[in-house]
Structure 1
Amino acid sequence: MSHGVAAAEPIPIADVTQSSDTDDGWHLSTTLTRMAINSVPNMAATAFTREGFVTGKAVATIGGNGSIPVNSGVLVLGLQLGCQVDLSEGGSLNADTDLGISPGLKGGDPIDDVGPYADIDLGGSINLLPGNITNIGLGKKALKGRTGEIVVHDAHVKVDGCGGQVAIRFFATVMIDTDKSDDSINAYGDILTL
């Protein structure tokens, strides 16, 4: 019998391909496939942490017959995480008390105005910062030929100190270098909520 964390069904994401011809005559492309996001209740059971697992594949292809040889190439697979409200600076709770004996007159019987008193002043603050977008790398592959790929299965992802929704999307970047120029192409998956 297995006792794992309860999870929803993974949400599949449509495949994406981007391509372009470089000034050197190469046809550069990158494809994102098999993308899925599985959001789960976070282990800390806090309202300010989001947790999930992601699966995906990125493929890079260098096609065509360029006029200048490719010196090197690299494929990167990653995630972009968008936090709506950054709570990472935390907050504070202040409690001030004032205890004593009050010997004053309030216009009535002086006996009624003498006695103990307690004033409690509660205050607090939460440091709300503008949301942010963070890139997380899932893999990097040097291209040693015309193609390369990165596959991740159930990679763990979490965002701490975030109020509101957390947006998530996959990205893939392929870059090549020749003696004449550097070129890159980027593909992005759909934006979903973690």
Structure 2
Amino acid sequence: MASVLGRCAAVLAAGALLLGGAGPASADPDPDLVAVDAAGATPVDPAAAVPPVDDGRVESSPPATLKAPDNWVLKVSAKDETQRAIAPLTTAVSSREYEVGGTFNGAMSGPDESDPPHGTLEVGYQIGCGIDMSTSNGVSLAANAGVNASLGILGTDVVTPLPDGVLPNIGGNLGGAITIGLKPGIINIVPVSKKEFTGADPWVMVQGFRIKIDGCVGQSFIRSYAFLTRSTRVSDAILAYYGVTKVV
């Protein structure tokens, strides 16, 4: 009997040690547990709920390259491009305004010549509109009015071939309509700079430049472009670069 009581006392002592050792550890939060509110839903982090601010940065397209028949190689590239939609000063829903920027580089290499190469480097933007109102009649009002006259004959209860009187009637009608002139989408080309140069490495840098178009309804798209032209007395070699299209 004594041995049984001893074994029970040992079991109780071991359980007390286990409970005593687990107590402090249970006070520490489990990193794998997610806190919930009183309704049982997971609370949303306010910082995570705020959408990121569009800083206007856009990815540039790969450089464009052209090899001319006289073995000259032309190259156009862009970097640090930005395109950010801003509120137009007119506050009209059919106006679009953007703040753009970027650095556009041209490069030419070829056989040795006595004179350095020369030409032009044009930089600008293309803006596409889903619906165009700039070349239509826009919103217009139409109305029509008319007058109708008639004569009525007054009779009596007694049958007689002669009328007892004549009653004139005058009626009118008035109608109106509102028409909105819409046309299929249009692409607006907005040149920013056309640089004439002499040398092999022309470049144009644009920063904080604002462009605006009117008569644009619906979704719009914008992309940059750069045209590099190498001119000689007998030829022109033209290379075009188009940036990544951004939906705004």
| Shared fold (TM-score, shorter chain, > 0.5) | yes
Among 83, 90, 106, the alignment partner of 1:60 is: 106
Among 199, 210, 218, the alignment partner of 1:164 is: 218
Mapped partners of 1:57, 1:141: distance in 2: 13
Aligned to 2:35: none
Residue by residue over 1:95-139, the C-alpha shift from the partner in whole angstroms, topping out at 9 and shown as x without a partner, is 34568999879xxxxxxxx99977442212111122211211111
Mapped partners of 2:152, 2:101: distance in 1: 72
1:49 Cα offset (Å)? 0.8
Mapped partners of 2:107, 2:172: distance in 1: 75
Please say which of residues 73-82 and 114-123 is displaced more in the overlay.
114-123
More helix by share: 2
Indicate the structure (1 or 2) with the bigger Cα radius of gyration.
2
1:10–1:39 Cα contact (<8 Å) kept: no
Matched, 1:12 2:63: no
C-alpha distance 128-66 of structure 1, shift in aligned 2 (>3 A)? farther
Mapped partners of 2:126, 2:145: distance in 1: 47
Aligned to 2:118: 72
1:49–1:160 Cα contact (<8 Å) kept: yes
Name the Cα RMSD after superposition. Answer: 2.7
Aligned to 2:92: 46
**Aligned amino acid, residue 74 of structure 1:** T
C-alpha distance 146-93 of structure 1, shift in aligned 2 (>3 A)? same
Aligned to 1:83: 129
SS in 2 for 1:132: strand
**Aligned amino acid, residue 90 of structure 2:** A
Residue by residue over 1:25-53, the C-alpha shift from the partner in whole angstroms, topping out at 9 and shown as x without a partner, is 11110111111111012222221111111
2:65–2:74 Cα contact (<8 Å) kept: yes
Residue by residue over 1:128-153, the C-alpha shift from the partner in whole angstroms, topping out at 9 and shown as x without a partner, is 12221121111111221111111111
SS in 2 for 1:11: coil
Aligned to 2:235: 181
Please say which of residues 87-96 and 29-38 is displaced more in the overlay.
87-96
Higher relative contact order (CA 8 A, sep 6+): 1
**Aligned amino acid, residue 230 of structure 2:** I
1:12 Cα offset (Å)? 1.5
Gaps of 5+ in 1: 1-7, 106-113
Mapped partners of 1:147, 1:96: distance in 2: 66
TM-score by length of 2: 0.63
1:188 Cα offset (Å)? 0.7
**Aligned amino acid, residue 26 of structure 1:** W
Among 201, 204, 208, the alignment partner of 1:147 is: 201
Seq. identity, %: 25
Deviation >3 Å, runs of 4+: 66-71, 95-105, 114-120
Residue by residue over 1:136-174, the C-alpha shift from the partner in whole angstroms, topping out at 9 and shown as x without a partner, is 111111221111111111111112011112211000110
Aligned to 1:33: 79
Gaps of 5+ in 2: 1-52, 154-167
**Aligned amino acid, residue 154 of structure 1:** G
C-alpha distance 154-95 of structure 1, shift in aligned 2 (>3 A)? same
